[in-house]
Amino acid sequence: MQKIDVHTHILPRHIPDFKAKYGYGGFVTLEHHAPCKAKMLKDDGTFFREVEENCFDAQARLRDTDRTGVSRQVISTVPVMFSYWAKPHDTHDLSCHLNDHVAEVCAANPERFVGLGTVPLQHTELAIKELTRLVKELGLKGVQIGSHVGDLNLSAPELFPFFEAASDLGAAIFVHPWDMMGQERMSKYWLPWLVGMPAEVSLAICSMIFGGVFERLPNLRVAFAHGGGSFPITVGRVQHGFTSRPDLCAVDNPHGPREYLGRFFVDSLVHDPDALQYIVKLFGEDAVVLGSDYPFPLGEEEPGAMVLAHSGLSQAIKEKILYKNAVKFLGL
């Protein structure tokens, strides 16, 4: 059976010295300190994460996907590279650099890689400019964006023209948690990844629903990472909040959250067969797409293994999750 993995991350082998180029720090660099390994460092020297060659080497990725039966990987940058905090023109330049690399990798193996770009989302006009370029000139299928942009949630009116442009261009949007909330109380136990990330995804979903983005842009194609984070298990609470306090929740959009179930995609990365079955039931069999978070340790080691082994999903539903829904999400 085919597999299209919509959630994988890639970096260029060599990241330019953005600190030198832009004249201030905070950017991520790669230090190749051992064969087939590199450290992701903030340019003040702070260690972020160790990566292996499959993060930056297309051939290593192809060996892995051959082994795990993944027909196509959707490649996008590592969220720490979004750099929405930097000066907009610098993030624009950085985004162009990353997008050109993703496009090169896709062009070299168009049957195996599909690209999602990144944009300077802190500056709507520049973000639309690069979105247009990456779709029309680079042939990427859309973008990966963060769950928030600085102090702005995805309901912000400033961001709406960007979503409108994505809808007009037919660009897919993959929403990934980043820059997690509450980190000042999460320094131990890897909590930003375990507690903050699911909360960020729920924040993004609620913001786009309550902000009326789905209502106003019925053709916009959006997928959320990590099975929708903590949204699916709290949807009853969110709906009840909307119903009981419309004065607080229904200020920008007249319909409650349940109206929009099935209106957007979520990936399958929940690491629990019961949770997988539940999100298929909640969002619908046409709304869950395979996502593995390759090549990172919180990902699914063999993409799609849980779907394939699941006793509660029919063969037809498995085919939808493993590749057919991704074809729709990406507009392939």
Q: Interface residues with Co ion (CB under 5 A)?
A: 293
Collapsing DSSP to helix, strand or coil, 72 comes out as strand
Nearer to Co ion by Cβ, of 76 and 99: the residue is: 76
Residue 126 CB, shortest distance to Co ion, in Å, is: 24
Nearer to Co ion by Cβ, of 202 and 253: the residue is: 202
Residue 35 CB, shortest distance to Co ion, in Å, is: 25
What dihedral do alpha carbons 136, 137, 141, 144 form, nearest 10°? -110
Quick one: 236 exposed, middle or buried, by C-beta within 10 A (0-12, 13-18, 19+)?
Answer: exposed
Nearer to Co ion by Cβ, of 175 and 238: the residue is: 175
Nearer to Co ion by Cβ, of 179 and 293: the residue is: 293
Phi, psi for residue 197 in degrees, rounded to 5: -60, -50
Phi, psi for residue 144 in degrees, rounded to 5: -100, 130
d(Cα 285, Cα 281) in Å, to the nearest integer? 7
The distance from CA 315 to its chain's CA centroid, rounded to whole angstroms, is 27
Nearer to Co ion by Cβ, of 285 and 293: the residue is: 293
Residue 225 CB, shortest distance to Co ion, in Å, is: 6
Residue with smallest beta-carbon separation from Co ion = 293
Residue 8 CB, shortest distance to Co ion, in Å, is: 8
Residue 177 CB, shortest distance to Co ion, in Å, is: 8
d(Cα 219, Cα 197) in Å, to the nearest integer? 27
